[in-house]
Structures are given as C-alpha cells and as structure tokens.
Structure 1
Amino acid sequence: MKRFIEGVDRSQTTLFPDCLEDWIDDDNPVRVIDVFVDELDLGDLGFERVVPLWTGRPAYHPSGLLKLYIYGYLNRVQSSRRLEREAGRNVEVMWLTGRLVPDHKTIADFRKDNGRAIRKVCAQFVSLCRALDLFTDACVAIDGAKFKAVNARDRNFTRAKMKRRLEQIEESVARYLDQLDSADRQEPSPARTTKTERLQDKIATLKDEVRRLRALEIEMLATPDQQISLTDPDARSMATSGRGSGMVGYNVQMAVDTEHHLIVTHEVINEGTDRSQLSPMSQKAKTELGTDTLDVVADRGYFNGDEILACDRAGITVTLPKPLTSGVKARGRYGKQDFRYVAEEDVYICPAGECLVYHYTNVEEGRTLRRYWTNVCQSCPIKHLCTTGKERRIARWEHEHVLEAVQQRLDEHPEKMRQRRETVEHPFGTIKSWMGYTHFLMKTLKRVRTEMALHVLAYNLKRVMAIVGIGPLIAAIMAA
C-alpha cells in the first residue's frame, strides 16, 4: 500500500548535535560573514563601543550586530524586529552571534548610529574584490534608479502640487456653497437641517486645510528646490519612465563592473536627474579600481558637455548617446547633426553642400561658442527644410571635439549600449527584488545611504561567493 512521507513524532526524544558548529556546513555562507567581520578593524572603521565602558550595563560588541545585519540583508530580512525573531529561532544566526538575542531597539540603533562605518565596510569589501583581481577589465556601466522613500505622494508638495490641491479645495468649497444655497430654498425640515450642518462642517474643514496648506506653502517656497516632504524631509518627488508614475524617493547611482557585474561604487542622492552625476560617479569608480584609465558606458540621461569634458581630462573614456533635445526634426527640418564639420578648414558643410564659415565667438552661460553661417541661404532650393530665418547659423562649443569623439566611439561600438543594459540593470533589479519592491525602511538621506550600503554589500558578497567559491573566498579574506 502506498504511503506518504511522514515526519517525526513531536513527542519523540531525539539526539541533536552536541554543538552549534555541527549544524553549519563548511560551505555555508555564514562562515564568509563571520570571517569577513572578524578580519575588520572595527575601531579604525569608526564603529562605536568597540572598547567596553567601565561603568554601566555591558553592551553588545559591534561585530555581532554587524554580522546580524549582513546576514539579514543577504537573506532578505532587513527589519530590526524580524532580525530579533531570527536571532531566537534561526540556527545559522545562533551560530553567527553566539546565541545572542539583542532586542529590536538595540539592533535598529546600531544601524542608525554607525552609518558612516557601515558604508566604509561596503567600500572595504570592494577593496577585497580588487585584491582578488575581479576588476581586471577597468570598464564600468553607470546608471541610476529611483527607490521609494517612507513618504506618501500626498505628503510631498511642490509648487505645481500645491497649486493643484488649492484649486481642488476651491472647487469643493464652491460646490458645497451651491448645495447650501439649494438647501436654503427648500422647506424647513430635520433632513434639511442635518444636510446644512454637514455641509457647513465640510466647508469649515476645507478652510482649515487651506490655512494649513498656506503655511506649508510658505515653508516650501523657502527651500532651495521649492519642495517639501512631511514624513521624510530629504525625500523628493521624482519622475520615472512611466507616464504619470512619479514617486517620492531617492535616486540611487551605481557604477557596475562589466565583467562580473560587481558594484564598484554607489551613491544615493535626492536629485531627480542624472545629468550632473557622470563625472562624480566615474571618478569615484576610477579611485575604487585604482586604475589610471577607465572606460565608462552610460545612457543618454547622463549626457552633459561639462561632465564629459571633466571625464576626458581625468583620463576617463566615456561612451553614451546624445539626446535630441531640439525640436527641428519634429518640424521636418535639418538638425545640427546633419551638418558635417571639417576640422582642417574650420567650416561646416550643410546638406546642400555649402560651406558655413566662422564669423565670431561669444560666451553664453559660461560656455565659449564659435558661430558659423553662410550668406547664400536666401537662394538655396532647400532652405525651407533648413531654417525659417535669413540664414542658418551653427554654434560650436570650444570643446565640441570631445563630444564628437564620444559620438564616434558610439558609432564604432553600438554594442556598448546593450552591454550597459545587461550590466547595470541586473543589480538594480536584484536589490529591488530583495527589498520586496517596497520603500526604504529608514528616513533622511544619511540613513538611507547606510541602508543602501548594506544592500550593496550583500549583493557583492553573494556575487563573489558565486564567482570565487566560499572556501577560496574565506582563504582570501584571511590572507588579506
């Protein structure tokens, strides 16, 4: 007769192993966490309470709490309350912490009070990856992604949101006043009295809301970016790729190694765009890799002439597409890209074959521009496809050759864009999946950076364990 696989009777006496060590295999990832933290100089990294105080109640050593957090982020357990429960029931955590069960407040305070040191631990592991020769390619892909903050969209205000909200309240008040006028024309009755009182309460509530919003508006307009968030003061409203799908959150920047998909460096900012991040992220990646030259691939959101020039001067080779911001193409006319520059003669050749020669130089918004045009546009048969003015003028930045070199590299290696997408999108998707596609647990930019550093450290740990192996990684950590 067929039977199911049956478990052990709960009342049956069993013989468990004599010690926790017998429960942990040699290739268990917790052994990597244990060795990695034990080899760190926590005092030099800036952790608090590395040396115990002579007075007061004994504290937990920071190494045990750091191990607990690394284990938690490696296993998608980021909440301090859930980590407290794991410490009391999870055999791996018992082995890792020596069966210590700190309360959730102690666990949460450790992450809150040691943010700078935790971020240094993340950078320390990147240095270990460099010692393992995992960054031999000296090529990174840079991208940014929006992560939600602990701040609902209704508790974030910009000038446009505030104006829209006040207009909605005005419309509601006008509608309620019309209903009051209509009720006054009816015969007196208990129902009319109840309705009138209800409408008056609604109008009073809306007027209180207007007063609250007016006070918030004054505070909002006093901020540098004229935006205010009530739950997380550092969170900002940011547009995302989907139309009408903006979020209140943070912009996480990453530079990812193209060979092993390891995160070389990262940063959390509260700016909604990536335009000013190319040079800072590239130079941080170059410093972390310890190389004299670096190849960087990014998307069109990073295109900024000044940032590209800064990278070029720092020995960083950038490849990224240029966005078409001009509307002339949409109107059916030639764009600047349709004009060919001849460096030897310092002229532009227009689509009709005419030469646009240099006339003068001026400065606009701090950029030195050279101006080119020709005087034969009036008789050109395709002038209507080029310009509506007297002649078509072309402006050339004094460092335009740097941008042209970027475009040439992209034309010669179009596969770089696919490489970028396959490289840098993977870590973002993985980390968001580990977070449960939800928001950060902590508030303010400083603490969110700590939380992201733990996510990055866990991601890199898991990647290196898969690439190198647990045994060799432990040996490398102990030898470093």
Structure 2
Amino acid sequence: VSLTDPDARAMTSAGRGTSIVGYNLQAAVDAEHHLIVAHELLNIGNDRGQLSSMAAKAKAAMGVDTLDAIADKGYFKGEDIRTCEGMGVTAFVPRPLTSGAKAKGRFGKPDFVYLEQENVYRCPAGEDLIYRYTSVEDGLTLHSYWSSNCQTCALHDQCTTGKERRVRRWEHEAVVEAMERRLDRTPEAMRIRRQTVEHPFGTLKAWMGSTHFQMKTLKNVRTEASLHILAYNFKRLVAILGVRPMIAAIQT
C-alpha cells in the first residue's frame, strides 16, 4: 500500500524478492528510427498479457497490416501469442525457464519431444508418453500425457519423484512451438530488442532523474508520461529530419 499515491502498485524488478512502487510504462518502438509509436501506462505489476494489446496499438499507429513484435520473456503468455497470430502480428518472445525439475537437476519439459502425427511425447529414455485425458485449468484446455513404463525406467530418478512423469500440453501449443522455431532461426532478435526499446527508456529515465514520475494518481501520471514521450519523439524527429524539414512536414 502506497501512503502517498493510491493508484501506485509494486512493480516486479530484476532482483529476486525486490520491487519498486510505481507504474508500468509500456512502449512500442520502431526498429528503424527508434520512435515511440504507441504507449500505455498501467498500474499492473508485470508485463504478461500486454503483448497483443500493445502490438494492436502499434499496428494502428503505423497503418500496417502485418508487424513483427519482439519482446522480452516477461511478455510470454501463450494466449497472447495466439491472439497476435490472429491479427497479423508475428511474435518473437522467448519462453521463460520456470521448470522446477530442471532447477533440481532433473529433465525439464523441453527434453520431451512432441510427435504430432502420433500425438505422443518422446521422453529422454525413448519411451512414448501417450495421451490420457483433457482438463481445463484457468480457462486453458490442457492435454495430459504419461507412460506406463516409468517405474521400471533406468532414468526414473532423473525424471520424476513420483510414480510417472506427466507432461501437459496446451491445446494451442503449436502456436508457441512455431514461435520458438522462429526464434531459433533469428538469433539476433533479442539484440534488436535491446537496441530498440532500451534506447528510449534509457533516454527518458536520464531526462526524468532518479525519482522518475513527479505526478500522482494514474490519470495524472499518464499525462506526464505522454508529455515525456511527445518530447522524446520531437527530439528524435529533429535528429532524423532536421528542424526545417520537420516544421515543413508538420505544416503539411
């Protein structure tokens, strides 16, 4: 609870177990000129679920039918990636490594290969995990797979602490897998992201100083953020076009 701003919230940060009270500024930046083409200020503490909405804003602002959207792993959400595909946005978002098994030295889900024709997962021991049942959790339809040979497997202890290793698959997992293949073919994607969106964020923070936003409440901070971005884009236009050509472009 913020005692000075009722709309401010704890924002997640890179440090484990740490956060900062404030706001979440979303920005879509074009890779060629580093102009901020769309932005939104939220008081949601993380970026999950924001990819498709920001991509839609960027598409509308740029007047294009298709768009490549590169974001960091904080934006990874299967439903969002599927929404992007349906509106002509090609997403490039790395999947975060959240497997507890992998962290404890056991096989993670990426070690299990899905075979589409057979509708099975092939495990590191070469066994097939067959489809068992379908369930719905948090609105997602999930298919569950496991093998009946886990208990006699020589790799059992490297795989699971239970009777058998179970793998679940989202009904639209193929969309995410296609994106992961795109990322494998485009190793420079994350470098492009860093060179693109980090540039304006670093510039804005340098201008704003260590305390960043001066206003309070969501409405006022949104106005403050919009003014900063307007100033940033004007300065970028001056750098790209020069003062006289920019004035002439505005007048036309």
TM-score band (shorter)? over 0.9
| Equivalence for 2:174 | 401
| Equivalence for 2:107 | 334
In the alignment, does 2:24 pair up with 1:276? no
| Equivalence for 2:140 | 367
Matches within 5 A, 1:8-27: none
| Equivalence for 2:63 | 290
| Equivalence for 1:94 | none
| Equivalence for 2:210 | 437
User: Does the 8 Å contact 2:99/2:109 carry over to 1?
Assistant: no
Give the deviation of 1:247 after TM superposition: 2.1
Higher mean C-alpha displacement, 243-252 vs 392-401: 243-252
Q: 2:185 aligns with which of 408, 412, 424?
A: 412
Matches within 5 A, 1:179-198: none
Give the deviation of 1:329 after TM superposition: 0.8
Q: Output the amino acid matched with 1:419.
A: I
In the alignment, does 2:22 pair up with 1:240? no
CA distance in 2, matches of 1:364, 1:235: 31
Q: In structure 1, the residue corresponding to 2:23 is in which secondary structure? A: strand
User: Does the 8 Å contact 2:142/2:168 carry over to 1?
Assistant: yes
Higher mean C-alpha displacement, 234-243 vs 357-366: 234-243
CA distance in 1, matches of 2:14, 2:136: 35
Q: Output the amino acid matched with 2:118.
A: E
Matches within 5 A, 1:23-172: 157=1
Give the deviation of 1:380 after TM superposition: 1.2
| Equivalence for 2:160 | 387
CA distance in 1, matches of 2:220, 2:92: 33
CA distance in 1, matches of 2:116, 2:101: 25
RMSD (Å) for aligned C-alpha atoms: 1.4
User: Does the 8 Å contact 2:94/2:180 carry over to 1?
Assistant: yes
| Equivalence for 1:267 | 40
Change in 2 beyond 3 A, CA 1:404/1:233: same
In the alignment, does 2:238 pair up with 1:462? no
| Equivalence for 2:219 | 446
CA distance in 1, matches of 2:185, 2:156: 32
CA distance in 2, matches of 1:349, 1:395: 13
User: Does the 8 Å contact 2:144/2:167 carry over to 1?
Assistant: yes
Deviation sequence 1:86-106 (CA, Å, 0-9, x none): xxxxxxxxxxxxxxxxxxxxx
Change in 2 beyond 3 A, CA 1:334/1:280: same
Change in 2 beyond 3 A, CA 1:369/1:243: closer
Q: In structure 2, the residue corresponding to 1:329 is in which secondary structure? A: helix
Give the deviation of 1:264 after TM superposition: 0.7
Q: In structure 1, the residue corresponding to 2:69 is in which secondary structure? A: strand
Q: Output the amino acid matched with 1:271.
A: I
Deviation sequence 1:242-278 (CA, Å, 0-9, x none): 3565322111111110111110111111111111211
User: Does the 8 Å contact 2:114/2:120 carry over to 1?
Assistant: yes
CA distance in 1, matches of 2:52, 2:180: 17
In the alignment, does 2:243 pair up with 1:477? no
CA distance in 2, matches of 1:386, 1:230: 48
Give the deviation of 1:230 after TM superposition: 2.6
Give the deviation of 1:288 after TM superposition: 0.9
Q: TM-score, normalised by structure 1?
A: 0.51
Q: In structure 1, the residue corresponding to 2:117 is in which secondary structure? A: coil
| Equivalence for 2:31 | 258
Deviation sequence 1:348-395 (CA, Å, 0-9, x none): 111111111212222122111111122111221111111122221111
Q: Output the amino acid matched with 1:299.
A: D
| Equivalence for 2:196 | 423
CA distance in 1, matches of 2:146, 2:25: 43
Change in 2 beyond 3 A, CA 1:410/1:383: same
User: Does the 8 Å contact 2:144/2:168 carry over to 1?
Assistant: yes
CA distance in 2, matches of 1:235, 1:364: 31
CA distance in 2, matches of 1:244, 1:401: 33
- Whichever structure has more helix as a proportion of its residues is 1
CA distance in 2, matches of 1:248, 1:328: 32
In the alignment, does 2:166 pair up with 1:377? no
Q: Which has the larger radius of gyration?
A: 1
User: Does the 8 Å contact 2:140/2:170 carry over to 1?
Assistant: yes
Q: In structure 2, the residue corresponding to 1:261 is in which secondary structure? A: coil
Deviation sequence 1:119-147 (CA, Å, 0-9, x none): xxxxxxxxxxxxxxxxxxxxxxxxxxxxx
Deviation sequence 1:308-359 (CA, Å, 0-9, x none): 1111111111001111112101111101100111112211111111111212
Q: Output the amino acid matched with 2:202.
A: G
